[in-house]
Structure 1
């Protein structure tokens, strides 16, 4: 199927790749379906594009690329809600805010996106960890 996106124009996506956030994500409760798309040939930055709203897209990263020590435990309630059966089913991503200059860009480590790769269910989880903020610099 074709999807009109905020950053990449019209792209071809597979329905089976759609990630469902049962209650949306914080601030966007009505936005329940997203596609994760590459940003050009770059494998570090991705776009999480709403399936419903062309203008709603987030730049996301795999946090372990920038923050190898990033570690937290998921609540059992999240594991059950996403139907996670094994650790390898989990994909962790974080929304970033791009700043100018780029070196000032930040990642939201306080509220990671947790995705069950097998079932394509997702949830943004707010962590109760004072070491993580919504504005961790990704450079330096």
Structure 2
């Protein structure tokens, strides 16, 4: 199927690759279907693109690339909602707040996007009681200079 996107224009997305978010995303509860589209050639950045709304696309990255010590436990409710059977079925992303200059970009580690890649189900999980915040510097070494 063809979808109009925020960053890539009109693209072809395989229907079986569409991720369903049964409860939408916080602030976008009516948005239930998204595609994860590569945004950088090196595979570091992605776009979580709404299938219905062309202007709704979030820049994502794998948090473990930038924060190797990042760790959290999914509550049973999230495990059930995502119909998870195995940790191998999980992909985790973090939503970025893009800033110009780029080295000031931040990652929301408090609300990771968790996807069951086997069943194509997604949920943005709000971590409670964790040390993570909504704005962690993606490149802290660049800011320290």
Same fold (TM > 0.5): yes
Q: Is 1:134 aligned to 2:134, yes or no?
A: yes
Unaligned runs of 5+ in 2: 141-145
**Distance across 2 between alignment mates of 1:48 and 1:121:** 13
**Distance across 2 between alignment mates of 1:105 and 1:132:** 16
The corresponding residue for 1:4 is 4
**Distance across 2 between alignment mates of 1:20 and 1:104:** 31
- Report the Cα offset of residue 20 of structure 1: 0.4
The corresponding residue for 2:143 is none
- Report the Cα offset of residue 40 of structure 1: 4.1
1:39-118 equivalent positions in 2, closer than 5 A: 39-118=39-118
Q: Is 1:16 aligned to 2:8, yes or no?
A: no
| TM-score, structure 2 normalization | 0.94
On the 8 A contact 1:110/1:129 being kept in 2, the answer is no
Question: Following TM superposition, where does structure 1 have runs of at least 4 consecutive aligned residues deviating by more than 2 angstroms?
Answer: none
| TM-score, structure 1 normalization | 0.97
**Distance across 2 between alignment mates of 1:138 and 1:129:** 22
**Distance across 2 between alignment mates of 1:43 and 1:9:** 19
- Report the Cα offset of residue 130 of structure 1: 4.1
Backbone CA RMSD of aligned residues: 0.8
